[in-house]
Structure 1
């Protein structure tokens, strides 16, 4: 929420594991670059009755989950929303997942402090599946 156009590049891994017959998955994130290291874990749960997913993320340095995001996939694109806080201010979070192929997905996170009228992108990641024999 700074209005900055400066980006930092990080490199690392996201390890996704399917659990509960695919109705949930976990993600281990470990990335680093000149600005430092980010490590955390996500739990994604599918609610079949609501036909939506929830995303729960915990940065390892905080030791607790952030408020969940809720959403669904339509036409190969997932969009998830939730409320959070940043520097003592209430914000909305939007997280978009779009997969160009079954092996490459783009993730984009944005924040809004005006009720969702304007969004500032603060995270863009491209994940590429590694071959199984690695």
Structure 2
């Protein structure tokens, strides 16, 4: 079996483990035992904590997966608006740094059947939505994954959202070009709620 195929199968197995339903509560466990069905966690309001306006400090790796250690830093503002009563939201980011002005948009959509979120990002310089990362929150931490091409190579993308407290959130994107064995972080943003 080719290494690339084996790596992809391993990644699929890992993805399956990441999205096992959370352990049911007492009432949920009793109902599941009676019906024989597993209860999936409803995460449609997982992003409600983020609705509002945030000051953003952003660092991005200038040349991902090249061995470069050059980071570019930006300061900006992120605004998150609730859509569809929380089952979707729209994120707008504007930032300025040494590489110029940056505008990004993220449309996050909740799928009630799979009980997962898709994060759909667009940069104003490109004007189209990229491939979505898919995932959800477990114990307050969001993890989202996809597979895409980067400079002609198939890579995995991981996006992690970690609320540090009620007024601070950390966002981290990483790429893997070895089937998920190692990850290179290339985007780190820290958002602080504006009062």
The within-5 A match list for 1:65-84 is 65-84=129-148
CA–CA distance in 1 between the matches of 2:154 and 2:101? 25
Please give the per-residue CA displacement for 1:15-42, whole angstroms capped at 9, x wherever unaligned: 1001100000000111111122221211
Q: Which residue of 2 aligns with 1:117?
A: 181
Which structure ranks higher in relative contact order (CA pairs < 8 Å, sequence separation ≥ 6)?
2
SS for the counterpart of 2:85 is helix
For the pair shown, the structure with the greater C-alpha radius of gyration is 2
Bigger mean CA offset, 17-26 vs 5-14: 5-14
Q: Which residue of 2 aligns with 1:9?
A: 73
Return the match for 1:88 from 152, 155, 158: 152
CA–CA distance in 2 between the matches of 1:48 and 1:103? 28
Runs of 4+ in 1 over 6 A off after TM superposition: none
Q: Which residue of 1 aligns with 2:106?
A: 42
Would you say the 8 A contact 1:12–1:31 is kept in 2? yes
Would you say the 8 A contact 1:3–1:120 is kept in 2? no
Structure 2 stretches lacking a partner, 5+ long? 1-64
Shift of residue 3, structure 1, vs aligned partner: 2.1
Q: Which residue of 1 aligns with 2:95?
A: 31
SS for the counterpart of 1:9 is strand
SS for the counterpart of 1:10 is strand
Shift of residue 6, structure 1, vs aligned partner: 2.5
Q: Which residue of 2 aligns with 1:98?
A: 162
Count of aligned pairs between the two proteins: 131
Structure 1 stretches lacking a partner, 5+ long? none
SS for the counterpart of 2:72 is coil
